[in-house]
């Protein structure tokens, strides 16, 4: 019997998501009904009633549409086209499975009823008192659903009724509640959900003791209130500080075939009556403390995007004190809004950067409008590139050590490149470009009201390609032949008089501290308000050792990049030959990786910076990461992270941070992770701190996270 809107397809695509629209992604969709055909069953025995036209099959098996049906007894009425299966009924379709006491199914119109349905399709498991439906909709009564295999601590949802509409692929749940341990205590409002949109709720809970905060407990909850929208709050109590609370939300929705929107909102407010100390500017931290963090990413069709980030902190230390892990990821808050349109070979964007946090320095753009033509063919082997922008800039440094700078800046860059490939192993590109920048407000006190700077550049990029293959195999390391790729390269840029006009230009986009090689090209430099005359040759070597991958293509065993700059025109204090930069990665097996970055003076090999990392992984049994960070005269840190899986439920971990510069163990922490019913993750951790840290000297923390609910 092949009726495309099969019972199992309707139930398995509709019921799981309808019942747990707040916790699960969709499975599949129902299709258009087709004409019924005669059933095909086998059975241990069968009877046929000529008067009623009913065939009775015992211990029957057979196909029901796209599903496979078994039951103690199956009755098929050829006159009415109705099938009734009873007794240990099992209907299987793909990875989904339906168990029921009785199924009644009409081949003529696709209607059906089910008694005591139980359905499983990982990660969803559900049961109900009854279900009924037709090709347009299906309704489940008294439903109970768990996300993950049913267990005492597995979160679950109960709903009085759930209705799935095949016309618009939507679900509506009525009188729903969420809970654990067999108790459903959190009511969910009536909501409608569309296939293809996940609205997982999110729950976090942590507590413990930190010497700077006292005993504390933090809880966060997001509950679905509309398709793709979760709303809730974060609440924390700290015995030495007070109550921190604020609304929170998260959203994730598919608004069209190529359109999506996702984001999150986190807030917090506290009347802090503890020891607040000072902020980054040395000022007393206020008693009224708060933060707002909003992230937003949106795609409208294939060409339009909108990204936004808001970080509004009342003081510089509020997230460090109460959201330590978030602070480690973002220590300097940024706030911006950007929207753009991407064409076939061009793009236009509007970008605004704002300054709601006066304790950090921000180069504001109010806004910046940018148009860019990507490299396109002008004529044979000659490519053109264009960048045009207009920005209203402002730089208001924190404190009073520097004046506020602001100007309107119009900037345009145009370049031509010509490719040369005389041999397959030799490639070169000639570059010529011009850049014109106009400042409506010159530097105060310079004697000018406005200033325009015109610059030109010439240069080239060239490389050689060489390779060799070696018939070397090693089963232990998974090596199936070797290929060595070598790429020497050289780049040159000449930008005469790039520093001209420095006494007139407000230096808002200026150089920042960076230890890595910076772009050479005039069109790639970001600090265009602080340029220096350039007459620089860059010489480098890239090497890559590869082997055949067991599944597809190749994989890298080792990579090495060396590069150095030679300055024919130098600024004060700069050597003719710059620092040598080395970037190395060695990964002979998937369980072993070593990486290193170093910069050193080639004249005397004095080390300026060295960062290394060694990672060892034994499947999911244990993992070790060793790291070093060295910056001459400023930094000498050593770190170690280790985790070990004790069994399916428990694993242990530890972390060490050592400051070689101060000869002090800054942090050492130890902990255990526990998984409960494959859904809840518990993390127990104790950490000890040394040195002048706001976190205090000891912390004990217990975290609870609902992984899949």
- Which pLDDT tens digit goes with each residue over 145-175? 776 677 777 777 788 887 767 666 566 778 8
Higher pLDDT, 391 or 227: 391
- What's the confidence (pLDDT) of residue 480? 92
3-state helix/strand/coil string of 168-213: CCEEEEEEEEEEECCEEEEEECCEEEECCCCCCCEEEEEEEEECCC
Note whether 413 and 381 are same-domain residues.
Answer: no
Instruction: Compute how many other C-beta atoms are within 10 angstroms of the C-beta atom of residue 103.
Output: 25
Query: Do the beta carbons of residue 17 and residue 24 sit within 8 Å?
Result: yes
- 392: cis peptide before it, omega within 30°? no
Instruction: Compute how many other C-beta atoms are within 10 angstroms of the C-beta atom of residue 1.
Output: 20
Of 590, 608, 629, the residue that ends a domain is 590
Q: Tell me: the pLDDT tens digits for 422-460? A: 999 999 999 999 999 999 999 988 889 999 999 999 999
Q: Tell me: the pLDDT tens digits for 5-62? A: 334 444 444 333 332 232 222 333 333 444 455 567 788 888 888 877 788 889 988 8
Q: Which of 108, 90, 164 is closest to 133 using CA atoms? A: 164
- What's the confidence (pLDDT) of residue 286? 95
Residue 2 placed within a domain? no
Average pLDDT of span 498-519: 90
Percent of the chain topping pLDDT 70: 88
- Tell me the three state secondary structure of residue 378: strand
What total of structural domains would you count in the chain? 3
Percent of the chain topping pLDDT 90: 57
Distances (CA, A) of 454 to 2, 279, 437, 496: 75, 43, 7, 11
Place of tokens 């409506």: 440
Residue 136 placed within a domain? yes
Note whether 153 and 240 are same-domain residues.
Answer: no
Higher pLDDT, 352 or 226: 352
Q: Tell me: the pLDDT tens digits for 594-627? A: 999 999 998 888 999 999 999 999 988 999 999 9
CA atoms within 13 A on the CB side of 319: 18
pTM score: 0.78
Residue 666 placed within a domain? no
Distance CA 562, CA 531 (A): 25
Average pLDDT of span 273-280: 92
Task: Report the range of poorest mean pLDDT among 11-25, 101-115, 139-153, 690-704.
Answer: 11-25
Residue 658 placed within a domain? no
Note whether 103 and 166 are same-domain residues.
Answer: yes
Note whether 168 and 297 are same-domain residues.
Answer: no
Distance CA 539, CA 313 (A): 45
Note whether 447 and 579 are same-domain residues.
Answer: yes
> pLDDT category, 182, cuts 50, 70, 90?
low
Name the helix (H) or strand (E) containing 434. Answer: strand 426-439
Residue 200 pLDDT greater than 70, yes or no: no
Note whether 151 and 300 are same-domain residues.
Answer: no
Q: Tell me: the pLDDT tens digits for 210-220? A: 999 999 999 99
- What's the confidence (pLDDT) of residue 400? 67
> pLDDT category, 377, cuts 50, 70, 90?
very high
Note whether 125 and 19 are same-domain residues.
Answer: yes
- What's the confidence (pLDDT) of residue 195? 45
Higher pLDDT, 78 or 697: 697
In this structure, are strands 156-165 and 170-180 parallel, antiparallel, or unpaired? antiparallel
- What's the confidence (pLDDT) of residue 137? 75
Note whether 415 and 286 are same-domain residues.
Answer: no
- What's the confidence (pLDDT) of residue 95? 64
- What's the confidence (pLDDT) of residue 257? 87
Average pLDDT taken over every residue of the chain? 86
Residue 384 placed within a domain? yes
- What's the confidence (pLDDT) of residue 31? 38
Note whether 234 and 91 are same-domain residues.
Answer: no
Domain that residue 411 falls in: 404-590
- What's the confidence (pLDDT) of residue 7? 40
**DSSP 8-state secondary structure symbol assigned to residue 122:** T
Residue 460 placed within a domain? yes
Note whether 414 and 344 are same-domain residues.
Answer: no
- What's the confidence (pLDDT) of residue 274? 93
Q: What's 137's domain CATH number? A: 2.60.450.10
Q: Tell me: the pLDDT tens digits for 296-352? A: 999 999 999 999 999 999 999 999 999 988 888 888 999 999 999 999 999 999 999
Note whether 410 and 313 are same-domain residues.
Answer: no
> pLDDT category, 415, cuts 50, 70, 90?
very high
- What's the confidence (pLDDT) of residue 215? 96
Note whether 483 and 543 are same-domain residues.
Answer: yes
Distance CA 272, CA 34 (A): 67
Of the ranges 112-126, 452-466, 513-527, which is most confident?
A: 452-466
Token code pair at residue 308: 């936004």
């Amino acid at each position: 019997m092949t009726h495309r809107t099969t019972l199992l397809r309707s139930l398995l695509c509709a019921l799981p998501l309808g019942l747990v629209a707040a916790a699960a992604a969709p499975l599949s969709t129902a299709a258009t009904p087709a004409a019924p055909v005669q059933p095909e069953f086998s059975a241990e025995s069968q009877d046929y009633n000529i008067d009623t036209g009913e065939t009775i099959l015992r211990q029957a098996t057979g196909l029901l549409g796209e599903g496979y049906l078994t039951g103690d007894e199956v009755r098929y009425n050829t006159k009415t086209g109705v099938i009734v299966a009873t007794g240990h009924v099992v209907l299987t379709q793909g990875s989904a499975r339906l168990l029921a006491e009785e199924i009644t199914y009409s081949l003529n119109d696709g209607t059906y009823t089910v008694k005591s349905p139980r359905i499983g399709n990982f990660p969803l498991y559900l049961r109900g008192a009854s279900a009924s439906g037709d090709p347009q909709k299906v309704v489940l009564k008294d439903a109970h659903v768990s996300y993950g295999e049913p267990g005492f601590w597995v979160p679950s949802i109960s709903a009085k009724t759930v209705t799935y509409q095949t016309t618009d692929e939507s679900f509506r749940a009525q009188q729903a509640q969420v809970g654990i341990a067999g108790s459903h205590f959190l009511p969910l409002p009536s909501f409608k959900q569309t296939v293809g949109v996940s609205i997982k709720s999110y729950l976090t809970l942590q507590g413990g003791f930190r010497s700077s905060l006292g005993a504390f407990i933090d809880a966060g909850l997001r509950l679905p209130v509309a398709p793709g929208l979760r709303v809730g709050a974060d609440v924390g109590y700290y015995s030495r500080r007070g109550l921190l609370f604020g609304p929170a939300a998260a959203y994730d929705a598919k608004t069209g075939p190529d359109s999506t929107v996702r984001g999150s909102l986190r807030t917090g407010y506290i009347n802090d009556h503890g020891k607040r100390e000072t902020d980054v500017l040395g000022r007393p931290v206020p008693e009224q403390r708060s933060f707002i963090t909003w992230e937003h990413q949106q795609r409208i069709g294939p060409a339009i995007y909108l990204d936004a980030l808001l970080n509004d902190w009342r003081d510089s230390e509020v997230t460090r004190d109460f959201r330590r892990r978030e602070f480690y990821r973002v220590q300097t808050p940024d706030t911006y809004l950007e929207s753009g349109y991407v064409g076939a070979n061009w793009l236009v964007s509007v970008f605004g950067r704002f300054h709601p946090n006066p304790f950090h320095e921000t180069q504001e753009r109010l806004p910046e409008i940018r148009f860019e033509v990507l490299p396109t063919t002008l004529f044979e082997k000659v490519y053109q590139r264009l960048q045009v922008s207009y920005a209203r800039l402002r730089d208001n440094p924190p404190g009073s050590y520097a004046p506020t700078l602001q100007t309107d800046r119009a900037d345009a860059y145009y370049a031509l490149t010509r490719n040369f490939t005389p041999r397959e192993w030799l490639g070169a590109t000639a570059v010529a470009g011009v850049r014109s920048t106009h400042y409506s407000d010159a530097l105060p006190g310079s004697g000018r009201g406005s200033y325009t700077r015109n610059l030109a550049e010439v240069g080239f990029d060239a490389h050689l390609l060489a390779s060799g293959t070696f018939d070397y195999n090693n089963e232990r390391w998974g090596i199936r032949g070797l290929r060595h790729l070598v790429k020497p390269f050289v780049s040159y840029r000449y930008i005469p008089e790039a520093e001209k006009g420095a006494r007139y230009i407000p230096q808002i986009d200026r150089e920042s501290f960076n230890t890595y090689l910076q772009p050479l090209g005039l069109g790639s430099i970001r600090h265009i308000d602080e340029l220096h005359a350039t007459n620089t040759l860059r010489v480098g070597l890239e090497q890559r050792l590869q082997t055949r991958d067991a599944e597809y293509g190749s994989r890298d065993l080792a990579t090495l990049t060396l590069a150095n700059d030679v300055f024919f025109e130098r600024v004060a204090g700069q050597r003719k030959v710059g620092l040598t930069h080395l970037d190395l990665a060695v990964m002979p097996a998937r369980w072993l990786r070593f990486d290193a970055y170093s910069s050193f003076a080639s004249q005397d090999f004095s080390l300026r910076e060295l960062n290394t990392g060694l990672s060892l992984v034994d499947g999911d049994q244990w993992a070790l990461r060793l790291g070093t960070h060295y910056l001459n005269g400023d930094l000498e840190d050593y770190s170690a992270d280790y985790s070990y899986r004790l069994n399916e439920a428990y694993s242990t971990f530890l972390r060490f941070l050592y400051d070689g510069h101060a000869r002090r163990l800054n942090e050492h922490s130890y902990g255990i992770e526990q998984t409960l019913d494959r859904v809840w993750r518990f993390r127990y951790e104790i950490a000890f701190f040394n040195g002048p840290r706001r976190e205090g000297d000891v912390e004990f923390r217990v975290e609870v996270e609902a992984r899949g609910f």
